Structure 1
């Protein structure tokens, strides 16, 4: 299984403000994001899950929460931490050795928790810096390389791949 974070990130790493993205709506970004995660399991925090209840992403949702025992959505399960969420994801993918993606969708604390375990990051780098109250975690550029880059109006989609550890 490949653990992949997906986020839209401003130049200052802002990803949210009062539960919303801090920039004006970018339809092309929303569309590519939805298409990417549509058939896969996704991992997200409780507040992010609650904010998306009317239009849940992914085929199955793994909600990371220490306070919730269950969620009232048939496609969702609760995990109480990183290891539990990864165990649930492996069950859903069915083969831990596969390259099937499991997407990490946020919020900020969830991105931070899963950052050390990520294989890839698919980030929409939004043009401009925006005020926000939630930020994508910084990463060590020496550990990552850009494998693919596509320019769009108002953002650039970059797929970052973790470099293999030196032996």
Structure 2
């Protein structure tokens, strides 16, 4: 099983503020959908609750410390280890946030699909630093800002060394 982190983070590693994204990048949403559809997506409870509704064509595995948390549309677990164990029959699973879950998952991760948003933003949730001694940048694709994208961004793919 391969574990992939998927995130969009600014140059200062900002992910979000007040349980919401700081930017709207339609092409990044399309890429996220293409990467994660028909897979298990593992996330923290706050990330799940930031969605208007569960994302289609994906199995949601939600980590929470709340013992009595219930939602019929998702799998509720209480640790990252439990989430990975639940998804262990999958070929590839995707960790989609938030900041604390990314930090916990980084040591177990094989691949990072990062959308680097060019700019620095005020945030309360951050992506962990990527240690270049442990990760190889294997692909980089720049996208300039345009009428649909207020900020320029780059798709970066890292593989564990």
Normalising by structure 2, we get a TM-score of 0.89
Task: Show structure 1 runs of 5+ residues with no match.
Answer: 94-99
- Over the aligned positions, Cα root-mean-square deviation in angstroms equals 1.5
C-alpha distance in 2, partners of 1:58/1:108? Answer: 24
The corresponding residue for 1:36 is 35
Residue 119 of structure 1 corresponds to which residue in structure 2?
A: 110
Aligned equivalent of 2:122: 131
How many Å separate the matches in 2 of 1:37 and 1:88?
17
3-state SS of the aligned residue for 1:142? Answer: coil
8 Å contact kept, 1:9–1:125: yes
Cα distance in structure 2, aligned partners of 1:124 and 1:17: 17
Aligned length: 154
Partner of 1:88: 86
1:58, distance to aligned residue in structure 2 (A): 5.4
Give the Å deviation of 1:156: 0.4
Shift of 1:139: 2.5
Task: Give matches, 1:13-162, under 5 Å.
Answer: 13-23=13-23, 25-56=24-55, 59-74=58-73, 76-91=74-89, 93=90, 100-153=91-144, 154-162=152-160
Runs of 4+ in structure 1 deviating by more than 4 angstroms, as ranges, are none
Mapped contact 2:54–2:60 kept (Cα < 8 A): no
TM value normalised by structure 1: 0.86
Distance in 1 (alpha carbons) for counterparts of 2:29 and 2:20:
13
Higher percent of residues as helix:
1
Segments of 5+ residues of structure 2 without an aligned counterpart are: 145-151
Q: Which deviates more, 55-64 or 150-159?
A: 55-64
What secondary structure does 2:33 align onto?
A: helix
SS in 2 for 1:43: strand
Q: Is the CA contact 1:68–1:78 (under 8 Å) kept in the aligned structure 2?
A: no
Secondary structure of 1:54's match? coil
Superposed displacement of residue 57, structure 1: 5.8
1-side partners of 2:137 and 2:78: how far apart?
A: 32
